Amino acid sequence: MTFTRRRMLGAMGAGALCGLPRGGFAATETTLGQATITTLSDGHLVLPRDFLLGDLDPAKAAPVLAEYGITGDTVEPPCNLTLYRDGTNTVLFDAGSGHAFMPSAGELLDALDALDVTPDDVTHVIFTHAHPDHLWGVLDDFDDPVFTNAAHMIGQAEWDYWTDPATVDSIGTARASFAVGAARRLAAIEDRLDFIAGGQEVLPGIMAHDTPGHTPGHMAFELRQGSEAVMVVGDAIGNGHLALARPGWASGSDQDADQGIATRVRLLDQLATDQMAMVGFHLPEGGLGRVERNGDAYRFVAEV
């Protein structure tokens, strides 16, 4: 498996997260058999640190975060989308934020353009889950579908949760807008959606895995060609610091903290044991790399 990291020019506004000038961004790419996997930046989020910590004691978390240079009141996680091209299918995992969520995100279409990939070229959009930074980019500014030629896939449990009218009242005030936004966008693409289940080969070489906790129906996807594989983990491993250094700590970004811990610990053990490459939506350096054991914890090693 060969990795390359390259700077692409010509996408207006892309790349600010990577420290590149406006108008350029970095893409990380690897081959998997005859397929190509490319991670694309949708920009980044700006979140209060409390959203990450949840019920964790800030004083307990502070020394760990400081090791990763996080000392302020906000965190700015990158948003890495995965594009998989096998010569037949052009598959996008998640649809990004669009322009309705945060001004620091919504750069996916520029990133695709720099690859000479148009939204009409995308044959499938497969969702890990329906949080705003993964779903809201599915509609344009006029509420029309962006990926007009694509079949869209989502886990049945994820669909059931976000389309349940009771969710907006049970999810909590901080996430109520997530529920309203998800329900509206999923309704808009309902006629394009196929429901998938864990353990299902959703396309040749793409296997769905149930990874709940961050959301009730969160899924990861194993991309495999022969003996080589890459796991698209979405937000099941939600950051490059606490999630790896303290995987048994609850994450404030997980809707079910205990289930999130169980999923994260299991997934990290699998990735480290199998030495399987991965893409993390909010991991650094484009999110493409490997997990290594670090005593009782783990560390993320970006492929360069």
- CATH code for the domain of 238: 3.60.15.10
* pLDDT at position 27: 74
- Whether 16 shows a pLDDT value over 50: the answer reads no
158 pLDDT higher than 90: yes
Work out how many domains the chain is built from and give that number: 1
- pLDDT at position 303, please? 80
Please state the pTM of the whole predicted model: 0.93
Q: How far is CA 184 from the centre of its chain?
A: 20
What is the tens place of the pLDDT at every residue in 248-266?
999 999 999 999 999 999 9
Residues 6+ apart with CB under 8 A from 185: 130, 135, 136, 138, 139
pLDDT at 216 over 70: yes
Q: Are 111 and 27 in contact (CB under 8 A)?
A: yes
**Closest by CA position to 238, among listed 261, 216, 217:** 261
Mean local confidence (pLDDT), 180-208: 97
* Residue 26 banded pLDDT, cuts 50, 70, 90: low
Radius of gyration of the chain (CA): 18
Write out the H or E segment, with its range, that includes residue 165: none
Question: Looking at residue 154, what is its pLDDT?
Answer: 98
pLDDT tens per residue across span 166-178: 999 999 999 999 9
Among residues 129, 147, 128, the alpha carbon closest in space to that of 137 is found at 147
Residue 22 vs residues 9, 16, 82, 117: alpha-carbon distances, Å: 9, 6, 22, 20
- The residues facing 31 across adjacent strands are 36
Domain that holds residue 241: 3-302
Q: Is the confidence at residue 54, as pLDDT, over 70?
A: yes
Query: Count of alpha carbons within 13 Å of 106, Cβ hemisphere only?
Result: 14
* Strand pairing class (206-210; 201-203): antiparallel
